Structure 1
Amino acid sequence: MTDNQALLAIEGVRFFGEMAASVSHEIKNVLAIINENAGLLQDMLGMHEKGMPLSPERLSRLAQSIARQVSRGDGIVKGMNRFAHSADDAKEKVDVGALVQFMTRLAGRLIGMQGQPPHIQTPEEALTVTINRFFLENLVWRCLCQAMAACPADKAVLICVEKTDSRAQIRFCGLDGTALDSTDGFPSSQDAAVAQLIEATLIMDNETGEICIILS
């Protein structure tokens, strides 16, 4: 195993674990709310057995709450399933804008802990590249983490997916150049290995306050 292969293996496992931990936490929250509603339903049944009438309105609200959480949990599991399958192929055709939007949904809980959700601009027509989907997701997430850390507290990161000549690029804009300049450990050796694998160029511009991924 080469040094780059070892770095990719380490980064791939770390990235998958980070996403899995966040998703499992969301699922636990869904189950906790369903469990709370089930407890309230048991309480209502216990009161009914003692002669108190059941409230149809309250039963309806509980049923609606449970249904919402089941739907939310289904969406979370579908997202995780889609993420897991992103590692199936070494290369495939990928809609870059859709991938960026998917990653912000998948990592919604982690993004909420760091700041405001990013604003995303995508071209009207799908911008596709043939690439390793999993490691592009990895690099997008790493850049977004650094962008949120360098974004002013009262603002949101702007992500622009654009076509330039024969290339696609993902720009993370609106960052504080000074904060970006003081970013510790980015890009790391793992980030460089990921960029090399997917034939991407990673640029951090302190003057314009941007991080850019350029895809062949």
Structure 2
Amino acid sequence: MRDDSPAMAIEGARFFGEISASISHEIKNVLAIINENAGLLQDMVMMIEKGMPLSPERLSGLAQSIVRQVNRGDRIVRDMNRFAHSADHPLETVNIGEVIHFVSVVAARLIAMKGNPPEIDVPAAPMTIVSNRFFLEDLVWTCLCRAMDARAPGRTVSIVAEKAGDTPRIRFCGLAEDFPAGGEVFPSPRETMVSGLLGVHLKADKEKGEIVIILS
């Protein structure tokens, strides 16, 4: 039997690094805005020391801006902590809709760099499987990246979680009809490795312009 542990370790580190780098960039943005507000506050202190009038509204607005950034930073750190704990268990009961929503949140900055955020359609009732949460997040993110890169002109990518019979599946819709184009390979070696690790199947439906993760 082939030992895929080294490849899994490399892929896990690569995925963790990609998301963590994006999150840390967001934290740096928060700190930069707080630092800018601190500079404005120092300017106001100097104005008061010189006897210049200063309206309470300006101070209140500055305080509210700082509070908003602190709350934003707290949310980002909580998401990062939750992402880190995704790797805690090799197998656990996973809510598929929750994973999709979480990936779209934790990778929001990277998604924004590619275009509009995806539309998400998941069942109101939890749809669960027993899987490795961390690598399922990895596969959802990988497929979302591919879908956003291959989306049809003027369309928004949508992610649909549903059951086909008794089999849960995740569909990434809105792709161009010629997907995969040129010499592009689908699934890629990375997609093949992660889907193999999870024991799931990937397929491309060119007629519908979809990538499908079949969670058998």
Instruction: Provide the TM-score with structure 2 as the length reference.
Output: 0.95
Q: Which position in structure 1 is the counterpart of 2:159?
A: 159
Counterpart mapping for 1:33-44 below 5 A: 33-44=33-44
Q: Which moved more, 1:153-162 or 1:135-144?
A: 153-162
C-alpha RMSD of matched pairs (Å): 1.5
Partner amino acid, structure 1, of 2:122: T
Secondary structure in 2 matching 1:53: coil
Partner amino acid, structure 1, of 2:162: E
Q: Which position in structure 1 is the counterpart of 2:208?
A: 208
Q: Which position in structure 1 is the counterpart of 2:10?
A: 10
Secondary structure in 2 matching 1:196: helix
* 2:89 is equivalent to residue 89 of structure 1: yes
1:134 Cα deviation from its structure 2 partner: 0.2
Q: Which position in structure 2 is the counterpart of 1:29?
A: 29
Instruction: Specify every segment of 5 or more residues in structure 1 that has no aligned partner in the other structure, as ranges.
Output: none
Distance in 2 separating the partners of 1:179 and 1:147: 9
Counterpart mapping for 1:81-120 below 5 A: 81-120=81-120
User: Does structure 2 conserve the Cα–Cα contact (< 8 Å) formed by 1:159 and 1:173?
Assistant: yes
1:188 Cα deviation from its structure 2 partner: 2.3
Secondary structure in 2 matching 1:181: coil
Q: Which position in structure 2 is the counterpart of 1:62?
A: 62
User: Does structure 1 conserve the Cα–Cα contact (< 8 Å) formed by 2:153 and 2:176?
Assistant: no
User: Does structure 2 conserve the Cα–Cα contact (< 8 Å) formed by 1:20 and 1:80?
Assistant: yes
Partner amino acid, structure 1, of 2:133: R
1:8 Cα deviation from its structure 2 partner: 1.3
Distance in 1 separating the partners of 2:183 and 2:129: 29
Between Structure 1 and Structure 2, how many residues are aligned?
Answer: 216
Instruction: Specify every segment of 5 or more residues in structure 2 that has no aligned partner in the other structure, as ranges.
Output: none
Instruction: Provide the TM-score with structure 1 as the length reference.
Output: 0.95
Taking only the aligned residue pairs, the percentage that are identical comes to 57
Q: Which position in structure 1 is the counterpart of 2:122?
A: 122
